[in-house]
Amino acid sequence: MPIRNEERYLAESVRHVLGQDYPGPLELVLAVGPSADRTEQIARELAAADPRVTVVANPTGRIPAALNLAVRTARHAVIARIDGHALLPPGYLRAAVATLAQTGAADVGGVMAAEGVTPFQQAVAWGMTSKAGVGSAAFHTGGGAGPTLSVYLGVYRREAIEAAGGWDEEMLRAEDWDLNFRIRTSGGVIWFTPELHVTYRPRTSIRTLAAQYFHYGRWRRVIVREHPGTASFRYLAPPGAAGLVAVGLAAGLAGLVALAAGAPPGWRWLTAGFVIPVTYLAGITAAGLGLSRGVPAAVRLRVPIVLGVMHLSWGSGFLTSPRRLHRRRPRRLHGRRLHRRPGRESDTRVGQPDPAGHRTAAAGRE
């Protein structure tokens, strides 16, 4: 579990991992990045209270670096990635490992079940689980079980992670998608299981939500740039909307400035550019209020704001993503493999395996 600035949720998230009714031995590796709160202190207190918890330092603070550190520290043949904002439901690990065995998949995952506490968080949760907010991604909105491109979090066969070279430590977002892409190109299967619902706590303010989706957009552009065949309407609609809104606002403002400066009457037509952002605002307001019937009024009124922030932040990030953001790496990343820490015993010799023949270690997201 890579963590940084997770004081609010860390203890609860760890409790949901350690409380799993998993039939085999389990270890939880906390890869702690530089934090401005009590995250590291809480992590070490949790490790002191339970021998199944191990703390390792992640000086870079980067999520993929933390994941690779956690895998190298872990002992077992199954690696479950855990999010610092996520709460595993009872039976999650048991069901995921059983699905690995039944399907022969390299990675199994389920639904990112966003749930908020405050009205704003609840509005974000609605947006993150609605096609109006995130399109048709199965791990957001649900769907039938089967092979897919990527999943939320994921429970991996360790051998699949190692064969793919681990997480790319320069891929600061979309790192799971990138790893799963490499696993798929090597013949591995990524399997979506809708029964696996993981509770996710959304961002708590417009500022943090906008920053989250801006970076999502920037790194999705990296994926599309490096793998053009993955481009789809779901990825191109937000930058299209953001671009049109920006052009409309620029034209409208230029028209107002021209009129104020006494320019010829023909310049007034530029003010018609305001039709574009006004139409977009009216559209997301109608869609948000119309589709969110049944939710509390305080939440419903915030849904259009949340949709606008998600769309325009994601789209702006996509449009402004620089080419220097990421350099493609060779298949074996950083010149090394993800070997187990020296002195660890082989997975096949330690303890009793679970029913699928695997032992499990947990890792996650900041």
pLDDT, one tens digit per residue, over 88-106 is: 889 999 999 999 999 999 9
Asked whether residue 27 carries a pLDDT value surpassing 90, the answer given is: yes
Asked whether 61 and 4 are in contact (CB, 8 A), the reply is yes
Given pLDDT bands bounded at 50, 70 and 90, which one contains residue 227? confident
The percent of residues in the chain predicted with pLDDT above 90, rounded, is 51
CA 241 to CA 315: how far, in whole Å? Answer: 7
Write the CA distances from 40 to 7, 173, 308, 365, integer angstroms.
Answer: 9, 23, 35, 15
pLDDT, one tens digit per residue, over 234-289 is: 778 889 999 999 999 999 999 899 888 888 877 888 999 999 999 999 999 998 89
CA 101 to CA 104: how far, in whole Å? Answer: 5
pLDDT at 338: 57
Return the number of other C-beta atoms located less than 10 Å from residue 170's C-beta.
18
**What values do phi and psi take at 301, rounded to 5?**
-65, -25
Return the number of other C-beta atoms located less than 10 Å from residue 39's C-beta.
23
Give the global pTM: 0.74
